[in-house]
């Protein structure tokens, strides 16, 4: 048996129209199911079994895999729903018309690169500790990061009772009593970057993720998304 979905979703999955536009097509009497015109909203159809026509042409719903990069602004949660009603990243991808979920997470206050997809197998490869996808961040720290502290960050510091694995870290700028650093980590523990710098006495003021594996944030504007390239998808696919 194929997946059972509402007719407007089926039409959206075929790529013929967005879900909202599909409702209009149904209203206008342009859609037939198994040869019969349907003007009622919300009827269910079975993918691969029911025959759906738009303007007399057969359309096929494809459960196409979608992979996107989002530039998450600070002040958004990366869960599908938030118990405190804060904005969620789902709101940033509404115009995609395909349901995707976040791959891994970024803190509410953290901005930058977030990957989203509807491909669960691929998502597991990106987040699984075994594959150690590297993640690169820019962080603004309170105070001046000393060389001994920098070396501790590079070698590993104790957070939550366990030492972090070696990280690459470089000081980019020191100004106004703050330090800008670039840091690449190879694990993904909860609030890891914030906890690492807290452990050396330089709390993070601002944090932005700019790269995961071979996927770069680049100049994607804040709050916007783009499709990943086949090279970006393939990098994890072949792991
Ligand atoms: N490390 C953090 O502290 N926060 C994030 O959102 C990601 C990595």
Output the CA 95–ligand 1 centroid distance in Å.
27
Which of 41, 64, 34 shows the shortest CA–CA distance to 233?
64
- 156-215 per-position pLDDT tens digit: 999 999 999 999 999 999 999 999 999 999 998 999 999 999 999 999 999 999 999 999
Nearest CA to ligand 1 atom 7: 106
Low-confidence ranges of the chain (pLDDT < 70): 1, 239
CA angle 204, 76, 129 (to 5 degrees): 65
Tokens of 219: 């100049």
* Residue 89, phi then psi, degrees to nearest 5: -65, -20
Q: Is 239 exposed, middle or buried (0-12, 13-18, 19+ CB in 10 A)?
A: middle
Residue 160 is among the residues annotated as catalytic for this protein: no
The span from the CA of 121 to the CA of 76, in Å, is: 25
Look at the block and give the residue holding tokens 């096929």.
60
- Which listed residue (27, 50, 95, 107) is catalytic? 107
18, 97 Cβ separation under 8 angstroms: yes
Closest alpha carbon to 57 in 21, 23, 16? 16
| DSSP H or E stretch at residue 123 | helix 120-127
d(CA 135, CA 67): 18
pLDDT at 64: 79
Which residues contact ligand 1 via a Cβ below 6 A?
Answer: 106-107, 110, 191-194, 207
Per-residue pLDDT at 219:
96
Which pLDDT score is estimated for 131? 77
Residue 152 DSSP SS3: helix
Cα 193 to ligand 1 centre (Å):
5
């Amino acid at each position: 048996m194929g997946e059972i979905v509402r007719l407007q979703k089926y039409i959206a999955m075929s790529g013929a129209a967005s879900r909202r536009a599909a409702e209009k097509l149904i209203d206008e009497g342009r859609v037939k199911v198994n040869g019969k015109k349907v003007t009622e909203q919300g009827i269910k159809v079975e993918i691969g079994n029911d025959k759906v026509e738009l303007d007399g042409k057969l359309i096929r719903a494809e459960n196409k895999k979608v992979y996107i990069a989002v530039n998450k602004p600070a002040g958004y949660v990366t869960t599908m729903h938030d118990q405190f009603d804060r904005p969620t990243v789902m709101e940033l991808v509404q115009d995609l018309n395909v349901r995707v979920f976040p791959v891994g997470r970024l803190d509410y206050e953290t901005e930058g690169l977030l990957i989203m997809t509807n491909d669960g197998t691929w998502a597991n490869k990106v987040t699984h500790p075994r594959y150690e996808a590297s993640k690169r961040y820019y962080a603004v720290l309170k105070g001046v990061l000393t060389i001994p502290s920098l070396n501790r960050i590079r070698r590993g510091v104790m957070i939550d009772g366990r030492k972090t694995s070696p990280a690459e870290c470089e000081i980019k700028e020191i100004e106004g009593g703050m330090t800008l650093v670039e840091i690449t980590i190879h694990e993904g523990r909860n609030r890891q970057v914030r906890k690492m710098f807290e452990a050396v006495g330089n709390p993070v003021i601002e944090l932005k993720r700019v790269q995961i594996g071979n996927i770069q944030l680049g100049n994607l504007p804040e709050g916007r998304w783009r499709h990943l390239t086949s090279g970006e998808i393939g990098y994890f696919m072949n792991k």
